[in-house]
Chains A and B, each alone.
Chain A
């Protein structure tokens, strides 16, 4: 294939990846920003979203499109509820001590993963896309659903943006992020803000999974990769900075596709991982984040 179409495909793929990555990473970033908690179980919330989507579409007697829409509503809600419980019964009791919460979320990761294996089983199962539509370009074909994913992710992100900037709840969250103690003095129920933030972060991951699951399959080990990638995005974007996270998701998503054109993909991953570590060492505020 000649370079032009090759690049076009890389850009298309990169955009899809960026869209999904932005959703999962914003969730992670939100939790870190407001609560100062690094949630290692974030990938498992993503996985739960995908698995729940499978259950919903499998058992609801709706046509694929409707079943998928139902999954997009139900799965994030259920995952959010689970996250809120985890926050109330585990993280809150740890007073959100950074290191203890990391260890605890590692524990949660194992528990969720194993529960998924026991209940859902070891197989990778497909979820039918809400619609089947393929775009045929002169050089290659492309899934119309993937383009829809980009749009849907954009809509969800815009909604989150409006929520954070326009709604009272969003204002309260941002106030808590800036100064927890002062927020408490103003009568903000910080416990509830934290539980809500943790739930919202998890719900975003679950929503990303529902979007992706017609492209990939629901599998109990699928949370690992998005976790690492969203870590990378959140770090590059600057820990806790939502704007930086979005920019980083776009950059990482696009560059991933293009880099792997030039390097052995495994080598590309090694280099990318090392670069992220070095960014954290030498530019802890991230490449795009404002100074801490």
Chain B
């Protein structure tokens, strides 16, 4: 567990502005809110285990957002504290971490997990403890209705929305005959099912579906299964072997003829797109949840966000240009923290007794305009399904950089509600 009480140091400046030099002379430098009890947020962090590469950046983003929140008055005037607990990217430990954050650290709520099995394993306990559980997972488990009234995903769109909104553009611009390569587990199956449905709805055809076992570390032998009449190769991979996959794809096609390539950036998350062996990606397209390379039309908020998290214009750490972030996903942590702030303030949140009010306040949210709180873009929250909807980006690799070529409309990713959590009891 790492305690981060950013209440004192960074806020000092803000306090001093108003307090004046007299107080400073009197040695009265403690921030005003030192008197108010902090709001404690529990963060379920993949610090070890298979999710650790993401976890590192999720933690960093959470710290950055926390600093901004505290510098701008905390939540309803109270300082905010985040308590990080490692879940080892394991569902059993995940549920125990929920327990620990709530019962031992008395956190007001919990947020932050990414991996679906951890979310699904932990959500029942959060529901039993009646504690808000805000996930940053992009899984379809929340909107799919598997979880409970206390579980929400307000900071990032789900796979179903992402995938469905890609199909029309892919069919219109890249080709009609699609071959999919995806990991042979739940996340990959969501891609397979929802993208296939969307492609067929759009008049295209998925001619081959190549599922790769999650334990695989070498992929070349799957590649000949790609039919030669493929017009678009759709790829999505996760885990430590992603770079291998993309490199081998490049070797496989070499300088020969190849289909259009459309990938989910998950295949290259935390990987430098200019790494040797990836030259062949030039001209191919990617889904991005948030554009890694700073775009010409980037908002001022985006600039502030990059600076706060410590990410340069290429999406790498400012301290190490080779340390590429999980840029397309980690904004969800940032946005979720600001939604927590907005929700708590709207609910008049005082103590853990107001947790239900907080959930109701978030459920009541609808439009989320682009702002420092929503750096990725404006969004619409569906209170019934506890799921947010937003824009998706399609980028093209140009000169070793991901340049945005298309932004989907929010409606492109919408689908009929599968669940109405507001009808469930607390």
Q: Are chains A and B touching directly in their complex (CB below 8 angstroms)?
A: yes
Q: Give the contact-size bracket for chain A.
A: 35 or more
Verify A124–B240 contact, CB threshold 8 A. yes
> With an 8 A cutoff between CB atoms, is A81 at the interface?
no
Report which of B213, B242, B250 forms a contact with A124, defined as CB distance below 8 A.
Answer: B242
A141-B254, A261-B221 provided; 5 other pairs, C-beta below 8 A? A5-B224, A122-B53, A129-B276, A139-B256, A141-B255
With known contacts A1-B228, A216-B241, A265-B184, A142–B215 Cβ distance under 8 A: no
Verify A122–B222 contact, CB threshold 8 A. no
- Closest residue of chain B to A217 (Cβ to Cβ) is B243
Verify A117–B251 contact, CB threshold 8 A. no
> With an 8 A cutoff between CB atoms, is A82 at the interface?
no
Distance in angstroms from B255 CB to nearest chain A CB is 6
Distance in angstroms from B219 CB to nearest chain A CB is 9
Verify A141–B53 contact, CB threshold 8 A. no
Bound-state CA distance A143–B70 (Å) is 52
With known contacts A134-B251, A141-B256, A216-B241, A128–B218 Cβ distance under 8 A: no
**Residues of chain B with a CB closer than 8 A to A13's CB:** 218, 220-221
Distance in angstroms from A23 CB to nearest chain B CB is 15
**Residues of chain A with a CB closer than 8 A to B184's CB:** 264-266
With known contacts A117-B48, A141-B254, A143-B251, A264–B211 Cβ distance under 8 A: yes
> With an 8 A cutoff between CB atoms, is A79 at the interface?
no
Verify A140–B276 contact, CB threshold 8 A. no
Bound-state CA distance A91–B184 (Å) is 39
Query: What are 19 A-B interface contacts by the 8 Å CB criterion?
Result: A5-B224, A6-B224, A122-B55, A124-B241, A124-B271, A126-B276, A132-B277, A140-B224, A140-B254, A141-B254, A141-B255, A142-B252, A143-B251, A222-B217, A261-B221, A261-B225, A264-B184, A265-B184, A265-B222
Verify B276–A132 contact, CB threshold 8 A. yes
**Residues of chain A with a CB closer than 8 A to B323's CB:** 123
Verify A9–B220 contact, CB threshold 8 A. yes
**Residues of chain A with a CB closer than 8 A to B242's CB:** 124
Bound-state CA distance A291–B307 (Å) is 67
Verify B251–A141 contact, CB threshold 8 A. yes
With known contacts A221-B240, A265-B213, A122–B220 Cβ distance under 8 A: no
Verify A257–B221 contact, CB threshold 8 A. yes
> With an 8 A cutoff between CB atoms, is A136 at the interface?
yes
Distance in angstroms from A259 CB to nearest chain B CB is 10
Mark interface residues in A1-31 (1 if CB within 8 Å of B CB, else 0): 1000110011001100100000000000000
With known contacts A134-B254, A264-B211, A266-B184, A117–B243 Cβ distance under 8 A: no
> With an 8 A cutoff between CB atoms, is B275 at the interface?
yes
Distance in angstroms from A92 CB to nearest chain B CB is 31
> With an 8 A cutoff between CB atoms, is B416 at the interface?
no
Bound-state CA distance A128–B50 (Å) is 24
- Closest residue of chain B to A267 (Cβ to Cβ) is B213
**Which residues on B are within 8 Å of A, measured CB to CB?**
48, 50, 52-53, 55-56, 184, 211-213, 215-218, 220-226, 228, 240-244, 247-248, 250-256, 270-271, 275-277, 323
Bound-state CA distance A6–B225 (Å) is 8
Distance in angstroms from B179 CB to nearest chain A CB is 12
Mark interface residues in A206-239 (1 if CB within 8 Å of B CB, else 0): 0000000001110101101100000000000000
Report which of B221, B253, B270 forms a contact with A141, defined as CB distance below 8 A.
Answer: B253
Verify B213–A225 contact, CB threshold 8 A. no
**Which residues on A are within 8 Å of B, measured CB to CB?**
1, 5-6, 9-10, 13-14, 17, 114, 117, 121-124, 126, 128-129, 132, 134, 136, 138-143, 215-217, 219, 221-222, 224-225, 257, 260-261, 264-266, 269
Report which of A1, A117, A124, A222 forms a contact with B224, defined as CB distance below 8 A.
Answer: A1
The total of interchain contacts (Cβ-Cβ below 8 angstroms) comes to: 109
**Residues of chain A with a CB closer than 8 A to B48's CB:** 114, 117, 122
**Residues of chain A with a CB closer than 8 A to B255's CB:** 134, 136, 141
Verify A141–B224 contact, CB threshold 8 A. no
Distance in angstroms from B413 CB to nearest chain A CB is 30
Bound-state CA distance A129–B276 (Å) is 9
- Closest residue of chain B to A17 (Cβ to Cβ) is B218
Bound-state CA distance A142–B254 (Å) is 7
- Closest residue of chain A to B255 (Cβ to Cβ) is A136
Distance in angstroms from A78 CB to nearest chain B CB is 22
Distance in angstroms from B323 CB to nearest chain A CB is 8
Verify B50–A221 contact, CB threshold 8 A. yes
With known contacts A132-B276, A265-B222, A123–B53 Cβ distance under 8 A: yes
Report which of B213, B256, B277 forms a contact with A266, defined as CB distance below 8 A.
Answer: B213
Distance in angstroms from A256 CB to nearest chain B CB is 8
Verify B251–A217 contact, CB threshold 8 A. no
Bound-state CA distance A257–B224 (Å) is 11
Report which of A6, A124, A215, A222 forms a contact with B53, defined as CB distance below 8 A.
Answer: A124
Bound-state CA distance A114–B211 (Å) is 31
Bound-state CA distance A224–B240 (Å) is 13
Distance in angstroms from B196 CB to nearest chain A CB is 17
**Residues of chain A with a CB closer than 8 A to B220's CB:** 9, 13
With known contacts A123-B53, A141-B253, A260–B275 Cβ distance under 8 A: no
Report which of A219, A257, A264 forms a contact with B240, defined as CB distance below 8 A.
Answer: A219
With known contacts A124-B242, A217-B244, A260–B254 Cβ distance under 8 A: no
- Which residue among A9, A124, A260 has the maximum number of chain B CB atoms within 10 Å of its CB? A124
Verify B218–A140 contact, CB threshold 8 A. no
Distance in angstroms from A221 CB to nearest chain B CB is 6
**Residues of chain A with a CB closer than 8 A to B253's CB:** 140-141
Report which of B52, B228, B276 forms a contact with A128, defined as CB distance below 8 A.
Answer: B276
**Residues of chain B with a CB closer than 8 A to A140's CB:** 223-224, 252-254, 256
Bound-state CA distance A143–B243 (Å) is 15
Distance in angstroms from A2 CB to nearest chain B CB is 9
Report which of A5, A126, A143, A225 forms a contact with B217, defined as CB distance below 8 A.
Answer: A225
Distance in angstroms from A56 CB to nearest chain B CB is 16
Bound-state CA distance A38–B323 (Å) is 38
Bound-state CA distance A136–B280 (Å) is 14
**Residues of chain B with a CB closer than 8 A to A217's CB:** 240-241, 243-244
Bound-state CA distance A228–B245 (Å) is 21
Distance in angstroms from B222 CB to nearest chain A CB is 7
Distance in angstroms from A121 CB to nearest chain B CB is 7
